[in-house]
Structure 1
Amino acid sequence: MSIEIIIGLPHLSEGPILAQARNLQLPALISANALSRWSDRRGWREWVGWRLTRLRNAKGLSSLCLDSAGFVAAARYGGFPWSLADYVALAAAYPFRWWASADYCVEAEVAQDREEVIDRLARTIRANRDCRRLAEDHGIAETLMPVIQGRRPTDYERCVDALWGSLTPGSLIGVGSMCRRDIHGPEGLIAVVDHLDQILPAGVRLHAFGVKGSALAFLLPFTHRIASIDSQAYGVSARQAAHRSGVSKSDRLVASHMAQWVAAQQARLSGPPLRLPHHRPTDPDAAPSDSWKAAIAQARTEIRELIESGDLDHDEITAPWIEQWAADIYREKLAG
């Protein structure tokens, strides 16, 4: 088995970048955000639909995959500006090789404390389930790729456990929050992959979103588990080269760096594998000893379970609501 390289595309406009992607004949990945239409007509910028005509330009590509733009949505807009129904309708508008479930990333820029990380895991689990239900309505469930999230290796396991019924040999799972992650350490990229390799059934493979090229040699021992990686890192190298040369970052320059980046990744994948020492997963969070903090923790757990089960919407966790919920639990324990 080998790890497949998928080229992340910044857009589907005709020009040197798309021409280079066609020439390389590798699978490509487009973000939902790159296909969005926006309007300022009402005095503020709002999302108004999809640029579906752009999908015609995918003709000639080896294949095209779709990403939900979870990190961009969180970092730039504070959440998805479109509904899950809108997103799945986009996925149904083109014969994508695969399309990723919506997910709630947990990079430090987005989830700033442990509680927010766990909240976003619950929302990711619910989003996966909702995307599958909507995919079945559209008849595209067979191309849906579930996406798991986490900060610690065991966080990803929580998502896997919730989706276990849909994981069979031959399944492909997307692994999110990887592109800004260190390679080394107990929460590093390889620790996550190694932990998933130990807990997943044989035959279930992974797509690792945004993996940096320097990590590829460490992934070679996991070719039985890693099916593919994607990146748009060539755009960053093109920007750096343009800055050094004092020229503009043209699409022609970006296309040239795309070809160089692909060649470099293929060389890394054909080189010798590197191994890191095994890291034990981080210990689970200790239960708080303070009664009020314990009530808060229980309230959060109960609310997350309701989100995962579909009894609450994704974004229905608010601080005042958690405190009220915890107050009820606290009073019940005092009375008991």
Structure 2
Amino acid sequence: MTIGVLVGLPHLREGPILNKARAMQMPALISANALSRWSQRQGWPEWLGWKLDQLRNARGLASLALDSAGFVAMARYRGFPWRTDDYLALAASYPFRWFASMDYCVEPEIAADREEVLGRISRTIRANLDCRRGARDLGIEHRLMPVIQGRRPEDYERCLDALALDVSRTRFIGVGSMCRRQVRGPEGLIAVLDHLDRILPPGLMLHLFGVKGSALPELAGLDHRILSVDSQAYGIAARQDAFRRGVAKTDELVAEHMQAWTGRQLSRLANPSGTRQPEPACAVPDKPPTDPWEQAIVQARAEIRQCVEDGDIGHEDVTTLWIEQWAADIYRDALAG
């Protein structure tokens, strides 16, 4: 089986980029953020809903999938500006090839420590369960792609176990936090994919979000497991090219880079670098804190994670202030006891 490439589109406005995507007849991916309406009237970005009219422009594309924009939401807005019901309304408004569950990425610039990684995995679990329930109510569950998150290989397994997927109905799942990941090492791309390949049932395929082009040749031997990859990295290349040449980064320039980038990715997948060596498993033990306040923080985070997964706290609602208040209660109880 050949690994597919989805071309990430920055928008669905009529023009050179969309025309080129139609001409290329490559499957495409659009981010929920690209379909968002915003206002600056209050002096800060205020989310107003979706630009549903742009979806009419998707005609002529080979296919279109929808991403929840997890990384952009965290990096730019420090959380999802929209609720689960809002996102599902967007997913139901167009016959997307698939739409990804909302998820909470764990790249180092988003999740700086181990506790934050664990918290975001719990929120990903709850977001998946909420999206599944809501999609079932809307009759679009068959197009929902679950998304798993993690930093270490075993994190992804933990996420999978908690989702309790019906493998007879789930054809593929998305694997998040791939775009800034090293290829090698105990938390590298190969270690994660080898681990998932060992534990997943035969026939359950993976979509890898944002795998960098230089890593694609390393996927040799995993085409039985990887359905597709996506990226919008050509936009960065277009910006660099425009800066170097001293010209504007027009949609015409971006469209040229999109076509060239797609050709390179397809070539990389067709010409792997050789036999891929599996990455040996190397678990990194966690050191528990000794300071009483830090112990209270760890316990508070663990209890909040469980509440999120159980649905007692919404995945969109956790804040640093909550954690500190929760920990303060634990800390006072420990002192009183």
Q: TM-score range by the shorter chain?
A: over 0.9
Alignment match, 1:186? 186
1:170-185 to 2 correspondences below 5 Å: 171-185=171-185
CA contact (8 A) 2:297 2:324 kept: no
Alignment match, 1:200? 200
Secondary structure of 2:117's match?
Answer: helix
Distance 2:171 2:251 in 1: 36
Q: Structure 1: 5+ residue runs without aligned partners? A: none
- Is the counterpart of residue 20 in structure 1 residue 24 in structure 2? no
Aligned counterpart for 2:331 among listed residues 311, 327, 331? 327
Pairwise CA distance, 1:10? 0.3
Distance 2:41 2:290 in 1: 54
1:234-288 residue CA offsets vs partner (Å, 9 max, x unmatched): 1111111112211111111111111111111111111134413422142342444
Secondary structure of 2:8's match?
Answer: strand
Distance 2:329 2:162 in 1: 24
CA contact (8 A) 2:299 2:327 kept: no
1:121-160 to 2 correspondences below 5 Å: 121-160=121-160
Alignment match, 2:216? 216
Q: In terms of mean alpha carbon deviation, does 38-47 or 8-17 score higher?
A: 38-47
Question: 4+ runs of 1 displaced by more than 6 Å?
Answer: none
1:124-180 residue CA offsets vs partner (Å, 9 max, x unmatched): 100000111110111100000011111111111111111123334752111111111
Pairwise CA distance, 1:97? 0.4
1:187-209 residue CA offsets vs partner (Å, 9 max, x unmatched): 11111111111111111111000
Alignment match, 2:309? 308
Question: Aligned in 2, Cα 1:329/1:196: closer, same or farther, shift over 3 Å?
Answer: farther
Q: Normalized against structure 1, the TM-score is what? A: 0.94
Question: Aligned in 2, Cα 1:41/1:289: closer, same or farther, shift over 3 Å?
Answer: closer
- Is the counterpart of residue 270 in structure 1 residue 274 in structure 2? no
Alignment match, 1:51? 51
Distance 1:177 1:95 in 2: 26
Pairwise CA distance, 1:325? 4.3
Distance 2:333 2:299 in 1: 8
Secondary structure of 2:228's match?
Answer: strand
Q: In terms of mean alpha carbon deviation, does 87-96 or 219-228 score higher?
A: 219-228
Secondary structure of 1:166's match?
Answer: coil
| Coordinate RMSD, CA, aligned | 1.8
CA contact (8 A) 2:150 2:177 kept: yes
Alignment match, 1:85? 85
Secondary structure of 2:221's match?
Answer: helix
Pairwise CA distance, 1:13? 0.5
Secondary structure of 2:220's match?
Answer: helix
Distance 1:328 1:135 in 2: 42
Read off the aligned partner of 1:320 and give its amino acid letter. E
Q: In terms of mean alpha carbon deviation, does 162-171 or 106-115 score higher?
A: 162-171
Read off the aligned partner of 1:279 and give its amino acid letter. P
CA contact (8 A) 2:191 2:278 kept: no
Distance 1:22 1:190 in 2: 33
CA contact (8 A) 2:103 2:128 kept: yes
Distance 1:194 1:35 in 2: 35
Q: In terms of mean alpha carbon deviation, does 3-12 or 272-281 score higher?
A: 272-281
Q: Normalized against structure 2, the TM-score is what? A: 0.93
CA contact (8 A) 2:105 2:177 kept: yes
Q: Structure 2: 5+ residue runs without aligned partners? A: none
CA contact (8 A) 2:88 2:131 kept: yes
Distance 1:319 1:297 in 2: 9
CA contact (8 A) 1:292 1:330 kept: no
CA contact (8 A) 2:296 2:328 kept: no
Pairwise CA distance, 1:233? 1.2
CA contact (8 A) 1:152 1:281 kept: no
Identity %: 61
- Is the counterpart of residue 240 in structure 1 residue 226 in structure 2? no
Distance 2:170 2:131 in 1: 19
Pairwise CA distance, 1:289? 5.5
